[in-house]
Structure 1
Amino acid sequence: MKKFMDWLTNKFAPAANELFNRPWLAGLSAAMQKVIPFILTGSVIFFYNVFKEYISFLPDLGPILTYSFGLLTLYITFMITNQLMEKLGHPAYTINAGLVAIGTLFMVVMPVGENAGSVDALMGSLGPSGIAVGMIVAIFVAIIFNLWGKLEFLKDSNIPDFLINWINVIIPNLITLGTAMILVVILEINVMEAILSLFMPIANIAQTLPGFILICFIPAFFYSLGVSSWMFGAITTPIYMAGIQANINAVAQGLPATNIVTSESVFTLAFITMGGMGATLGLNLLMLFSKSKELKSMGKVFIAPSIFNINEPIIFGAPVVFNPLLMLPMWINAIVGPVYVWIIMRAGLLNIPTKSNQMGQVPAPISSWMITEDIRAFLWWAILFVIYLAIWYPFFKSYEKIKLADEGK
């Protein structure tokens, strides 16, 4: 174990941090974090609509949803390009590249055929279902602007600076939009369908039990090494959004929801992330009743954020990070949680979420009932809490003995 921990600490973790801090990955991660307010804005309206179903005189706030969450692909496209330009060292292009990415996106997703001119079809493409398309478009635009920026065209010329700046934006604009025009207008390729067809196998794999386990375990594993789980947003967000959108569409057609792997099932449900990623609420409860003064004191400090599924304090304060006695149960929980959720949802013992709501900081099991609209969520949450508690207990008691020895007890 000691050799393994030394390898994790001195080799694996530094290499992982270096990888995720590279410009392309860091830019994607930063962009996903910056669009969270738009996702949460939509979540607030979805939450509000739960009450509106029972209180009919409440006003319709649908337009807020339409022009926040409903334009998520648009926002992501701009923000990814913007952040990539910043991380790649092209501050002069952050706004211009982002804007031309929006123009390219519109060219790619503009409805054709029988839907030509349909505003509804266009809006549907700009919502969460088009995120994969927006990401590809943004990365393509960033590549063009990055390559052009490296050329430093007209750097030593006598042309006025403002004119050089214009030229150095116009040319990559023409290349980007021209390429999109060739594909869409001249070759008549449905770029959106082509991108989505490439993305579907990944999404389909994610919507399996092994995919569900991996999508929950990998971020938790890296989190235990001090690598923020936000880094994986660029990968998980399109999968989660496609999943919940498919559920919403299915219910609208009178069909059952089938996609379990959504942000709602992972976060808002607060089963897999009970107390935060790695299900640390059980650990926090054990700390509250610890014989160690240090652990008990920290438990009192950490309990408030834990109730709201925020566990950075306990992860870095207990600490769980690089603590072999606490990392292992966190990894086990990251496997047990998705397996548990998968079984009860597939067995029809708990409703699969059919509404988009990513308010993961609402205390459970209130959030669990809210997102499933199923009273059974309270029971299944309580059973899983006991399971998590049993997993944490032996590891925690071993760690507690070490702390008590340090305190001279």
Structure 2
Amino acid sequence: MKRFMKWLSNSFAPAMKKIVGRPWISAVSTSMQKIIPFILAGSIIFLYGVVRDFVSVLPDIGIIADFTFGMIGLIIAFMLAHQVMINLHHDKSTINAGLVSIAIFLININPTIDEGIFTVEFGRLGPTGILVGILSALLTAAIFNLYGKLNLFEDSEIPDFVTEWINTIIPILVTVGLAVVIAFKLNIDIFDITEIVFSPLQSFAQTLPGFILVCLIPAMFYSIGISSWFFGSITTPIFLAGIAGNIALVEQGLAPTNIVTSETVFTAALITMGGMGATLGLNFLMLFSKSKKLKVLGKICIIPSFFNINEPVVFSTPVVMNPLLMLPMWINAIIGPIVIWLSMSSGFLNIPARMIQIGQIPAPFSSVMITEDMRAIIVYIILFFIYLAVWYPFFKVYEKQVLTEEKQAGVDDMPLSNPVTE
């Protein structure tokens, strides 16, 4: 174990931090975070829809969701191109690249233009078009970046404002021209190609092994101090496509089938009970610890834990880089998906079919709300005790270690953020 932890600490974690810090990868991760307000705006409208089901006199404002969450593909096209330009220090091209990326996205979703009427399938602007938005942004950013490196007219006598115009016009013409040739001259439908290529990944993600990996990988990275946000560049398209598919099925009078959605993983707060890795059980045990340090931390962290915010407990206990607490976090990230998969696939628990991605609603209230199923309370209770049983033996060993350290150092002198010793 010591050798494994040393490898994680000295080799794997630094290497991963270096990879996720690269400008292009970082831009994708950052852009996914920046579109969250638009997703949450749509979530609020869907949440309003839940209330409207019981208060029918309320007006229908669902069209707001169409122009927030329903435009997420278009929005990511701008956000990502803009962010890449920032990361690559092309400060003069940030807005222009974002706007061109929007044009490329609109070309790539294969519109028809007939006698001045622009027609496009509205659904392609939303979550099903998010990958097209990413590809459009990366193409635009790549061309703008390559042209920016040429430094044309840098030492010329042409006025600066004219130079700036030229250095904007050329990459615009090249980018849009390339997209036009591909879409309208070669008749290549980028949207359809993206769906075909992405389909196997989406299909695998909607299986039990895929579900486990979607939950386990971020938890593993989180336990070594690497933000799980970077993995959102992979999971966000999967989650959005999944919930969009469920919504469409329900609108057709059919039952939802996609279990792997953000609503299942986060909003219901069954898999992420207390936060990623189901740390509510750990926090609960800390409240009754014999260790002064752990008991105080438990009291400090319990309120955030109820709202599924576990950074305080993960970094202060600490769970990060602590082999005794990392392992139960990983185990829970496997058990949770298995229990939820069995519950939903068997029909015992409803599959979410509303797009509500607000993960800070305490369970089991959020569990019942998102599944529209009172049996979610039963699943919550079962999972809480399972998580608690997983945490217990590891916690007791760690508690004994902390008690020994407190005895040696003197309880009053024991720092709350004392690092783990092996």
1:21 matches 2:4: no
1:161 deviates by 1.3
1:361 deviates by 0.6
1:272 deviates by 1.1
1:82 aligns with 82
1:169 deviates by 1.1
2:137 aligns with 138
Cα deviations across residues 24-81 of structure 1 (Å, max 9, x unaligned)? 1110011011111111111111111101011011122223212211111111110011
1:2 deviates by 0.7
Answer yes or no: is the 8 Å Cα contact 1:52–1:58 preserved in 2. yes
1:91 deviates by 1.3
1:123 deviates by 2.5
Give the AA of the match of 1:202: L
Cα deviations across residues 323-358 of structure 1 (Å, max 9, x unaligned)? 010000001111111111111111111001111110
In structure 1, how many angstroms separate the alpha carbons of the residues matched to 2:260 and 2:205? 7
Pairing 1:170-209 to 2, within 5 Å after superposition: 170-209=169-208
In structure 2, how many angstroms separate the alpha carbons of the residues matched to 1:312 and 1:324? 17
In structure 1, how many angstroms separate the alpha carbons of the residues matched to 2:156 and 2:317? 59
In structure 2, how many angstroms separate the alpha carbons of the residues matched to 1:118 and 1:368? 42
1:176 deviates by 0.7
1:398 aligns with 397
1:111 deviates by 3.2
1:169 matches 2:168: yes
1:108 aligns with 108
In structure 1, how many angstroms separate the alpha carbons of the residues matched to 2:20 and 2:190? 29
Answer yes or no: is the 8 Å Cα contact 1:333–1:388 preserved in 2. yes
Answer yes or no: is the 8 Å Cα contact 1:111–1:117 preserved in 2. no
In structure 2, how many angstroms separate the alpha carbons of the residues matched to 1:65 and 1:256? 22
CA RMSD, 1 decimal:
1.5
In structure 2, how many angstroms separate the alpha carbons of the residues matched to 1:5 and 1:242? 37
Answer yes or no: is the 8 Å Cα contact 2:110–2:191 preserved in 1. no
2:67 aligns with 67
In structure 1, how many angstroms separate the alpha carbons of the residues matched to 2:107 and 2:134? 15
In structure 2, how many angstroms separate the alpha carbons of the residues matched to 1:389 and 1:407? 25
Percent identical among aligned pairs is: 57
In structure 1, how many angstroms separate the alpha carbons of the residues matched to 2:217 and 2:93? 34
In structure 1, how many angstroms separate the alpha carbons of the residues matched to 2:151 and 2:312? 45
In structure 1, how many angstroms separate the alpha carbons of the residues matched to 2:110 and 2:185? 15
1:118 deviates by 7.4
Give the AA of the match of 1:78: F
In structure 2, how many angstroms separate the alpha carbons of the residues matched to 1:89 and 1:122? 36
2:295 aligns with 296
1:11 aligns with 11
CA spacing shift, 1:364–1:26, aligned 2, 3 Å: same
Give the AA of the match of 1:401: K
Give the AA of the match of 2:357: Q
Give the AA of the match of 2:365: I
In structure 1, how many angstroms separate the alpha carbons of the residues matched to 2:49 and 2:118? 27
1:157 deviates by 1.2
Answer yes or no: is the 8 Å Cα contact 2:79–2:98 preserved in 1. yes
CA spacing shift, 1:348–1:158, aligned 2, 3 Å: same
1:369 aligns with 368
1:158 matches 2:157: yes
Pairing 1:8-407 to 2, within 5 Å after superposition: 8-112=8-112, 121-407=120-406
Task: Give SS of 1:407's match.
Answer: helix
In structure 2, how many angstroms separate the alpha carbons of the residues matched to 1:334 and 1:37? 26
Give the AA of the match of 1:2: K
1:13 deviates by 0.5
CA spacing shift, 1:253–1:118, aligned 2, 3 Å: farther
1:321 deviates by 0.3
In structure 2, how many angstroms separate the alpha carbons of the residues matched to 1:396 and 1:390? 10
Task: Give SS of 1:381's match.
Answer: helix
Give the AA of the match of 1:8: L
Cα deviations across residues 289-319 of structure 1 (Å, max 9, x unaligned)? 1111110100111111111101111111111
In structure 2, how many angstroms separate the alpha carbons of the residues matched to 1:89 and 1:232? 24
Answer yes or no: is the 8 Å Cα contact 1:224–1:327 preserved in 2. yes
1:90 deviates by 1.1
In structure 1, the gaps of 5 or more residues are none
So what's the TM-score if we normalise by structure 1?
0.97
1:127 deviates by 1.1
Bigger mean CA deviation after superposition, 288-297 or 250-259 = 250-259
In structure 2, the gaps of 5 or more residues are 412-422
1:232 deviates by 1.0
Answer yes or no: is the 8 Å Cα contact 2:110–2:190 preserved in 1. no
In structure 2, how many angstroms separate the alpha carbons of the residues matched to 1:296 and 1:392? 16
In structure 2, how many angstroms separate the alpha carbons of the residues matched to 1:272 and 1:155? 55
Query: How many equivalent residue pairs?
Result: 407
In structure 1, how many angstroms separate the alpha carbons of the residues matched to 2:231 and 2:91? 25
Cα deviations across residues 118-155 of structure 1 (Å, max 9, x unaligned)? 76x54211111111111111111111111111111111
In structure 2, how many angstroms separate the alpha carbons of the residues matched to 1:287 and 1:118? 60
1:117 deviates by 5.3
In structure 2, how many angstroms separate the alpha carbons of the residues matched to 1:369 and 1:253? 23
In structure 1, how many angstroms separate the alpha carbons of the residues matched to 2:142 and 2:285? 50
Task: Give SS of 1:53's match.
Answer: helix
1:112 deviates by 3.6
Give the AA of the match of 2:61: L
1:92 deviates by 1.2
Answer yes or no: is the 8 Å Cα contact 1:274–1:281 preserved in 2. yes
2:419 aligns with none
